[in-house]
Each structure stands twice: as C-alpha cells, then as structure tokens.
Copies of this chain bind each other. A is one copy, B any other.
Amino acid sequence: MNTKIPIEKKVLSKNDELAQEIRQMLAERRILSLNLVSSPGSGKTSLLENTLSALKGKVRMAVIAGDVQTENDAKRLEKTGGGIIRALTTGGACHLDARMILKAIDDLNLDDIDVLFIENVGNLVCPSSYHLGEDMKVVLISTTEGDDKPLKYPSMFRKSSVLILNKIDLLGYSDFRADEALRNARNINAALKIFEVSCKTGQGLDNWYTWLGNQIAKKKEANPSTV
C-alpha cells in the first residue's frame, strides 16, 4: 500500500514532535519516565502494583495506565496507595501516542513526581513505533509465552532498554527455556538490562527496585539542558 506510507510518516513525525515536548517537560523537572510495553497478560500491572507498594513513601511515583477499554488496571494500582494514578482509555486504539500522554500529563502536578510510569496498551507490535517522550522502554515477557518472542517481535526488543522476564515461579510448567529467551533477546539487543522476576512471589524484584532507585538518583543529577 504505497499510498499509505506518507500519511503514516506524517503521523509519526507529528508524534515525535509532541514526544519531544514531553521529554523537555519531564527533563526540566528531572522526572525519570519509563514506558512499559508487553503482550496482554505479561504482568505490567502486577509489576507496577509491587513497585508502588514497595517504594511507597520513599519515591514519589505517578502512573498513566493505558488500556483499550476499562479502567481495571488503574483501579488495581490505586489500591496500593503508592502514587498518583491516571487511567487512559484509548477507546479502540492499539497503542498510546504522545498526544494522549501530553493530555494526561496536563492533569498531573509534575513538581510532585520523581518517576512517571506509562503503562502502554498490551501489544508487542504497534507501541514500538510511538515515542512518548520517555527515558526508556521497559519490555516484559513471561515464562508462559514462547521463548522466541524477541525474534518474532524484534522492533520492541530493539527499542527497549530493559527486559523484565516475569513469572519465573512458573518455570518448568511449560516448555519455555529462560536461557533461550534471554539469548534471543540479547541477539536482538545486546545492551538490554535484564531482570528475572516473579511478580507473584516477589522473587528478583529487589534488584529491580535497586536499579530503579539508582536511575531516579541519576536523573536528579542530570543536566536538563542536555536532553
């Protein structure tokens, strides 16, 4: 469909402009921002529930919880009492875009936030094309999916800085080979920072919290003008 390409490019370039606006706003306030991406059901909301509960009172957190329909995730996150939660329902769209995030940010007091989590729509394809002004993408996969997911959806793994392998408590109940999945991921993107966790048992999450704390501290020291 040759006729479609220029329009998609135009949409993406407009999105990039808005993403740059967001990046600047967050940088000026030294807010770390992470865009969480994965298939439906890999555990984005569970990771955030754990993180909000664990770092409550230590770090000032906000979440923009995106979904095609329902505010179920936002409600789950609010129950932790660990941060400011905003639901963002796309009403059918398969990804978040920068325009949606700008609107959601408008409703947040950015001076009260150290870290902004953006929980994207559950989709391993489309969200990889839309920058949201974030510092990093964090991609989740779980041990109940196939271990070839990084090869099948390379764009998402290439554009992510962090990979979280979730549901390690279920290793051995399926044919999933963790070493194969991580090898596939590193073949796509050797720079990936990897955490192996279980959001159900809590295993491995301390490493994630420590890393997150360090990233927030680094951001506080960063010079916003270099963004």
Q: Does A203 contact B (CB under 8 A)?
A: no
Q: Which of B93, B121, B124 contacts A122 (CB 8 A)?
A: B124
Q: Does A67 contact B (CB under 8 A)?
A: yes
Q: Does A145 contact B (CB under 8 A)?
A: yes
Whether B1 pairs with A152 at a CB distance below 8 angstroms is: no
Known: A1-B11, A11-B1, A200-B174. A70 touches B152 (CB 8 A): yes
A–B complex contacts, Cβ < 8 Å, 12 sampled: A1-B99, A39-B41, A39-B122, A41-B142, A67-B152, A68-B155, A69-B152, A70-B148, A70-B151, A72-B151, A93-B125, A121-B125
Whether B155 pairs with A92 at a CB distance below 8 angstroms is: yes
Q: Does A40 contact B (CB under 8 A)?
A: yes
Whether A146 pairs with B41 at a CB distance below 8 angstroms is: yes
Residues of B within 8 A of A67 (CB): 152
Known: A144-B41, A144-B167. A153 touches B68 (CB 8 A): yes
- Bitwise, A74-104 to B at CB < 8 A (1) or not (0) is 0000000000000000001110000100000
* Chain B residue with Cβ nearest A99: B1
User: Most chain-B Cβ atoms within 10 A of its Cβ — which of A69, A92, A144?
Assistant: A144
Known: A40-B145, A41-B146, A174-B200. A69 touches B151 (CB 8 A): yes
The DSSP consensus for interface residues of chain A is loop
Q: Which 7 A-B pairs have the closest CB atoms?
A: A41-B145, A144-B144, A94-B125, A39-B40, A39-B39, A70-B151, A94-B126
Docked CA distance A125–B126 (Å): 10
Taken together, the copies of this chain in the complex come to 2
Residues of B within 8 A of A70 (CB): 148, 151-152
Known: A7-B7, A94-B125, A122-B124. A40 touches B146 (CB 8 A): yes
Q: Does A227 contact B (CB under 8 A)?
A: no
Whether A154 pairs with B41 at a CB distance below 8 angstroms is: no
Q: Does A123 contact B (CB under 8 A)?
A: yes
Residues of B within 8 A of A93 (CB): 125
- Bitwise, A56-70 to B at CB < 8 A (1) or not (0) is 000000000001111
